[in-house]
Amino acid sequence: MWKLIKKLVFILIIANILFVIFGIFFNPPVTWTQLGSVFKYGKMQRDYIAYDDMGTNIKKAVLASEDQAFFNHNGFDYKAIEKAMQKNDKKGKVVRGGSTVSQQTAKNVFLWQGRSWLRKGLEAIYTFIIEKIWGKDIILERYLNVIEMGQGVFGVEAAAQYYYNKPAKDLTKSEAAWIAAVLPNPKKYDPKNPSAYLNKKHKWIMRQMNNIVLK
């Protein structure tokens, strides 16, 4: 029994190493979140594209919305985590997360959704690994290709086509900001029918995009 367990652990380790190496060159064939979308919405709309084909506006919009310190941290933004904890303590519930784009990439590519300590622990491990092995451009490309940006809509190219019938590289600053505004809750918000909150967030992202410098 013990030998079988050791063999299974060894296989899992090797499989994970190969998956991380695979991720340097290719987007994931499918993710757990994408599979869940098929069962929930009966569809999975996505179109993986290269980093250079995504255009500047959507990159700036997403970073402005989700992780303005992306190019300056090591995968973990401790200031953002501290602010999130303070706000959550004040509200008495989880109203804000401190996850970076690197952490969200680790979760979306390798893991599943949820708030368990096991998943958060694995997320931290994968985040550390991809920061060391993939680097920022690959992490951002994988994130922008797999992140859910609508009900059953994954990645910036599919989102651009779904909301505006155009490639991601052709999105205007305002259009890119509208798509980014649905994060991190794309199942709830819709740029086609924005709430007062979404309108406010869109304007904020537009201003913050001026502070983003791509590297």
DSSP state, 65?
H
Q: Write out the two tokens for 29.
A: 């064939």
Q: CATH number of 2-211: 1.10.3720.10, 3.10.520.10, 1.10.3810.10, 2.60.40.10? A: 1.10.3810.10
Q: Look-up: residue for tokens 């994970």?
A: 16
Sheet with 148-150, edge to edge strand ranges:
45-46, 153-154, 148-150
- State pLDDT tens for residues 173-209: 999 999 999 998 888 898 888 999 999 999 999 999 9
Q: Write out the two tokens for 212.
A: 């983003």
CB 76 within 8 A of CB 100: yes
Q: Report which of residues 37 and 101 the model is more confident about.
A: 101
Where in the chain are the domains? 2-211
What does pTM read for this prediction?
0.89
Segment 114-124 shows an average pLDDT of: 87
CB 138 within 8 A of CB 24: yes
For residue 116, CA distances in Å to 107, 127, 128, 133, 188 come to 12, 16, 19, 26, 22
The whole-angstrom distance between residue 106's C-alpha and the CA centroid of its chain comes to: 8
**DSSP three-state, residue 73:** coil
Whole-angstrom distance, CA of residue 179 vs CA of residue 173 = 10
Instruction: List phi, psi (to 5°) of 174.
Output: -65, -40
- State pLDDT tens for residues 15-28: 888 888 999 999 99
pLDDT band at 113 (very low <50, low <70, confident <90, very high): confident
Instruction: List phi, psi (to 5°) of 4.
Output: -65, -45
Weakest mean pLDDT among 35-49, 89-103, 124-138, 165-179: 89-103
